[in-house]
Amino acid sequence: MKSQHSTHGLVVIGAVSIALTARATSRTTSVRAEDTGSPENRVAAESVSPHAEKSLGNVIRTDDRYGHDGLFQGPRGWVYWNFLENPKPIQNPNLWPDLQSTYFIGRFAMPAGSRMTLRGRFPYARFFQFALYKFERETFVSINETLRGPDFEPDPGSVNPFRVGADRLADQRDYTIHILAEDPPKDVGQRARNTLYVGRDEVDLEGVIRIYLADQDKDGAGWGPGDQSFAETGFPTYEATLADGTKLDSEQAVQRFGKPFSGATKQPMTTEQWLELVSSPNNDPTLPPETAPARNPPQWEKYWTNAYTLAGAFKPPAERAKIRYEGAMEGGGEGPYLVTYLSRKFGPVYVLRGKMPTFPDTFAGEDGRGLAIMPETQTQYWSLVSCQAVPSGQVVDGISDFQVPLDADRNYTIVVSASEDRPQNATPEHGVAWLKWSPRGEGLDDPRNRSDFGMLIMRIMANNSDWKQRPDLIIKPRTGSAVMGPYFPSAYYTTKAEFETNGARAQTGTTEESDMPEIAMTTGQGKTMTLTMQTLPESRGHQYCELVFNYGEKGSDIYSTSPLAKADLDWWENLDVEALAKEFGAESVYKNGPQWWSMDEVGVMASQPVPVAGVDMVFGAHLPPGTLKIAKYTVFSPAKFQDLVWKAGKPVYQLVDPDGYVYVLQGHKVPEKELAALGERFQKLPEGWAYRVQVLDEDLVMNLTPKEPIPSVQDEFDQIYIRIPE
């Protein structure tokens, strides 16, 4: 495993992590109390994140430099709220902030025809944005008037360091932007450069300066040095002009336009509203109050609106489908975000896996001053935060892209647990990142607070339009996995002991909400099993084995190693099926396999892991008597949920019947290298049937449901083919 910057001692300052010492990242957190940056003796809050040391001096210095503007209040962010002795209420980042972010927020209203001009310097940082929001739905909602770093046109003679190929460390880095109280031109081509439009109706607006991950040697905002005095300021200055031509300096602009506020920003949901949701009798019946809205296996989805993502997460699928998910995300977030809910009642250790998109590793560079040239990458910024429930809105831990260990294929493994449940091998040295599960669960000051609750938010921001699997392309619920492929996270619950013994499983498990319901099924033993859709990305060639437990007139149970780990053939060959039959109360046990999936992604209905003969398997189905006795090459139509994807450019293996219907191979017992010539080995292929191999020009996607049973057929090698719909 390769851990990026794993030998740096890190100091997180708002939007920055600063390297101080050549120590491993898995260490006890400390606060450099001697580095105060101010004559005042301020006491740092208890550190929450175990990933880095914190420079109290840098945090204070950033607050002293930029915390006194008349219009834009701040700096706001996790470190300011947790480390300053007396933070202002506005500095409370109470809606799941990124650990590395610094914000400045200004509220104002502009009379029709007026103009505000801001002049500033580009920060030395990973991500920079100026965005406008308007008050709506009891919060501030994006009006799609925003300038991200690369969008700014720099002043003459200056460099925009956020553009691909730019000198990120250039000294001349000035910009000028304008805010007009006019309706935007209908023709996008008529929009003026560096200009944002807020309309003529003088509504309450919120302007946000958003900065993520300042360079190693800079303060939290990325404008000044992190460890020395700074006579200048990169903070934007501003002036205004009224419709009649009257000029306003910054103080007059604040008096005329400003809507100052002293309290913390409002939460989208109160404690009582949240607790009513938790215990509502109208919730999905599969979600008990002890764990709602968490599910097992875990489910990831895109964060849509508060109504859909927060309240809707508790509802039955049919009811949730009635909630509008389209529209701007409330609260002023810069997405796309992915979200999941957790519960320790499903397991004390949560294991997250996925593929990391390429990102510009701007933090340190070769000489500690930050990366010199901005490269082209898939995303500008990726991070993960561990959260409390929405009434709290607090984050307890977080990690950014450059801190995550990656393997040679850019895959990551991240463990989330309480400190006492952290596996000994959940360290960067073992190629595993670790996040702390909220010690207070929901974080509610209420006796009904659930200490087992957890929540994760993944940011994947400012993505390259050439990246075909970017989350921006998720335009409706339940499509995240199909859009993002291996970049969409997958996860499972386990125990400290199991992870220490076996490490991480393959990237498998349910990843997002699905139209497929949870199905309760009674096994041949009389036990009730709950089956949910579980997705195995990159399934082509995944080797698995099945055990068929025969209960005579009661039918048969199917257990499989897929979509869990690749089948262990030594274990398989040495199985004592007679002992297994006795243990499970079956008449006999039949070994089906080993075999391999032929498709590139497969989603199957399965239970959570069940121990069978010393390994984890999943219960997949209970079949009526006689189901397994269907004659070869006889068409049958099983009713089941299944999601299947064969990718373009890959071979598929097909049978064609006399009527021209095409059946595609699903799982094969013949090794892949022998499939191309399999047609020569058939001895019992009926007259009129043909075998062929084709390379697809486009993806073949099949989403099967019991509502439309799919015709299928089995060949003489006990391999199943399913009919491709016309």
C-beta contacts of 186-190 below 8 A and 24+ residues apart: none
Same domain flag for 637 and 615: no
Q: In this structure, is residue 511 part of a structural domain? A: no
pLDDT at 6: 34
Same domain flag for 205 and 330: no
* Cross-strand bridge partners of residue 532: 606
Same domain flag for 239 and 358: no
| Nearest C-alpha neighbor of 125 from the set 159, 169, 92 | 169
| Nearest C-alpha neighbor of 605 from the set 496, 656, 531, 685 | 531
Same domain flag for 550 and 454: no
pLDDT at 451: 96
pLDDT at 711: 87
Same domain flag for 138 and 155: yes
| Nearest C-alpha neighbor of 278 from the set 307, 304, 315, 322 | 315
CA atoms within 13 A on the CB side of 544: 27
- Coil, strand or helix: which one is 67? coil
Q: How far apart are the first and last CA of the chain?
A: 45
Same domain flag for 237 and 189: yes
How, if at all, do strands 174-180 and 115-121 pair? antiparallel
pLDDT at 138: 63
Q: In this structure, is residue 262 part of a structural domain? A: no
Same domain flag for 620 and 638: no
Q: In this structure, is residue 526 part of a structural domain? A: yes
DSSP 459: E
Q: What's the rounded Cα separation, in Å, for the pair 251 and 232?
A: 19
Q: In this structure, is residue 402 part of a structural domain? A: yes
Same domain flag for 88 and 121: yes
Q: What's the rounded Cα separation, in Å, for the pair 446 and 443?
A: 9
What is the total count of domains within the chain?
A: 4
**157-199 pLDDT, tens per residue?**
999 999 999 999 999 999 999 999 999 999 989 999 999 999 9
Residue ending a domain, among 627, 643, 678, is: 627
Same domain flag for 672 and 722: yes
Q: In this structure, is residue 84 part of a structural domain? A: yes
Q: Which two tokens stand for residue 405?
A: 């260990």
- Coil, strand or helix: which one is 258? strand
The residue range of the domain holding 611 is 516-627
Same domain flag for 546 and 477: no
Q: In this structure, is residue 266 part of a structural domain? A: no
Q: What's the rounded Cα separation, in Å, for the pair 223 and 339?
A: 32
Residue ending a domain, among 609, 627, 645, is: 627
Q: What's the rounded Cα separation, in Å, for the pair 16 and 9?
A: 13
Q: Which two tokens stand for residue 132?
A: 């406008």
Question: What is the arrangement of strands in the sheet containing 610-612, beginning at the earlier edge strand?
Answer: 610-612, 615-623, 556-560, 543-550, 588-597, 667-668
Residue ending a domain, among 502, 526, 551, is: 502
Same domain flag for 221 and 293: no
Per the omega criterion (within 30 degrees of 0), is the bond before 93 cis? no
pLDDT at 118: 98
- Coil, strand or helix: which one is 89? helix
Q: In this structure, is residue 507 part of a structural domain? A: no
Taking the alpha carbons of 687, 688, 694, 700 in that order, is the dihedral positive or negative? negative
**535-557 pLDDT, tens per residue?**
888 899 999 999 999 998 888 89
Amino acid at 395: V
Instruction: Give the residues of the chain that fall short of pLDDT 70.
Output: 1-54, 137-139, 328-333, 506-518, 520, 624-627, 639, 707-709
Same domain flag for 467 and 533: no
Amino acid at 585: G
| Element at 257 (helix H, strand E) | helix 250-257
Which residues of 388-512 form beta strands (DSSP E)? 395-400, 405-406, 411-417, 433-436, 453-463, 490-494
Q: What's the rounded Cα separation, in Å, for the pair 53 and 47?
A: 9
C-beta of residue 638 within 8 angstroms of C-beta of residue 723: no
Q: In this structure, is residue 676 part of a structural domain? A: yes
pLDDT at 23: 25
Gyration radius of the chain over CA positions: 29
